[in-house]
Structure 1
Amino acid sequence: MIDPTSNIGAVLKRVRFQRDLTLEDTSNLTGVSKAMLGQIERGESNPTISTLWKISTGLRISFSELLGSETYNYDPISINDLEPVFELEEKMILYNVFPYNPISGFEYFYIRLLPGAKHVSMPHNNSTEEYIVVTQGTLVQTVEDQSFELSAPAALAFKSNKHHTYSNPYDTEVVFQNIVKY
């Protein structure tokens, strides 16, 4: 059986060089000492899981990538094959395309608003921003006391720790993408 930690040093060094980071820069980002990072890169230390988490979190790479075991599975997703969530008397149809992942730090929704739909969202205290991309129709997006009419193609980013509303007061369907960043 191959030791999964055998590639950690090489991966750490590769990521550091790709980002033009010194050991000191990497130490500041991860909270792991320069000496320990150097030992890991040279294969002289077998780091604890806690240390690996600090490194992967600080460098914003997946834990599995750090272990050198990152595999990519490219499976296309058909929105029509996903189970929708219906709200507002079935006038808001939400598809959770990419559910929240703590490594990526976001979730991605494909949303359809039928004519007359209005969804009021309470502040999300655990998220930092939302990104809206309207691809069909006209979305009326309200954030606190500001209202925006977003006609496709259009986009808006806002802090989601405020009251916000998505509405379609028009006679045609609205389709938009919603990314919530945590």
Structure 2
Amino acid sequence: MGHGLAHVKSVRENTPPSAEDAESTPSPVKGKGRKKEQDAKKAEAPPPEAPSSEEEWAYEVAHADSSTDLAPIVGRNLRRLRTQRGLSLERLAKASGVSRAMLGQIELGQSAPTINVIWKIARALGIPFSALISTTAQSGTRLMRASQSKRLASHDGSFSSRALFPFDEPRRVEFYELRLAAHAEEHADAHPPGTMENLVVTVGTVEIDRGDEHHVLAAGDAILFEADVAHVYRNTGNVDAVMYLVMTYAETVG
């Protein structure tokens, strides 16, 4: 599964070069006068608009450890939920902070977003995280084998999330297994008002910053906090940390 994203292109690869990119390509110039004229134009030219680096694009695209079969599911759900709310890609990009190009690639199922990108979109749409990863509802007992689990990861793979509930429908309570690499940290944006996180550490030591609050959790420690402000998970230890998280929303949003 680690190489499953080989066929999924980055937004940079799927986006044709802009006029600005084309103009920035150097071309042979004859004569000193021509060179001085070009130097003057470069000095007057405004700085390029973000995203302006490969790192910014890479941040939006998930690590290869993410489940590639989630990409089309997220894409279909995003398009349906966005159109239901009458939002253009441009308006959703402004509301979520996710680039318009990336949103378009997600809807086409051609780019797998990171955990953080999905959270940004879900918050902008006012929906639970699970609304973007849900599949068709099924009834009865559901057995979820670890070998068949679907994982979402950060862009560098240092943080991963495995849903421990069926991807069948949006729900008010969600249950996740989280893994954070040694000496890594994950920044989480504020979730919708009323969202609660109940987290227990089972392996390693994890620091959690919530606003001005700072908490250190060893294996076996648990914490419950309001997640409607930005927060950080940090692993300062030498081993990967494992956590289990119960996310509770104020209300279920379909």
TM-score normalised to structure 1 length = 0.55
Equivalent of 2:200 in 133, 152, 159: 133
Report the residue type matching 1:159 in the other structure.
E
Deviations 1:25-63 (A, max 9, x none): xxxxxxxxxxxxxxxxxxxxxxxxxxxxxxxxxxxxxxx
Matched pairs, number: 111
Q: Unpaired runs of 5+ in structure 2? A: 1-137, 250-254
**Paired residue type of 1:83:** K
Corresponding residue for 2:156?
89
Q: What percentage of residue pairs aligned between the two structures are identical?
A: 22
Residues 100 and 162 of structure 1: is their aligned pair in 2 closer, same or farther, counting only changes over 3 Å?
farther
1:115 equivalent to 2:185? Answer no
Q: Distance in 2 between matches of 1:80 and 1:175?
A: 17
User: After TM superposition, where is structure 1 displaced by more than 4 Å over at least 4 residues in a row?
Assistant: 99-102
Instruction: Identify the structure with the greater strand proportion.
Output: 1
Change (3 A) 1:82 1:125: same
Asked if the contact 1:88–1:119 (Cα under 8 Å) also holds between the matched residues in 2, the reply is no
Indicate if the aligned counterparts of 1:141 and 1:164 stay in contact, CA closer than 8 A. Answer: yes
1:151 partnered with 2:151: no
Which structure shows the higher helix fraction? 2
Deviation at 1:110, TM superposition (A): 0.6
- Of 229, 244, 249, the residue aligned with 1:162 is 229
Root-mean-square deviation (CA, aligned residues, Å) is: 2.1
Q: Tell me the distance in 2 between the aligned counterparts of 1:136 and 1:73.
A: 32
Q: What is the CA–CA distance in structure 2 between the aligned matches of 1:151 and 1:82, rounded to whole Å?
A: 26
Instruction: Determine helix, strand or coil for the equivalent of 1:77.
Output: coil
C-alpha displacement of 1:120: 0.8
C-alpha distance in structure 2 between counterparts of 1:117 and 1:179, whole Å:
22
C-alpha distance in structure 2 between counterparts of 1:144 and 1:161, whole Å: 10
**Separation (CA, whole Å) in 1 of partners of 2:230 and 2:238:** 25
Helix, strand or coil for the counterpart of 2:153? strand
- Give the whole-Å Cα distance in 1 for the aligned partners of 2:213 and 2:141: 40
Cα 1:82–1:171 shift into 2, 3 Å: same
Q: Relative to structure 1, is the Cα distance of residues 171 and 100 closer, same or farther in structure 2, using a 3 angstrom cutoff?
A: farther
2:204 partner amino acid: G
Deviations 1:83-121 (A, max 9, x none): 21121511111112225855x511111111111221111
Structure 2 equivalent of residue 174 of structure 1:
241
Say if 1:101 and 1:156 are closer, same or farther in 2 by CA, change over 3 A. Answer: farther
Please give the alpha-carbon distance, in whole angstroms, between the structure 2 residues aligned to 1:112 and 1:167.
11
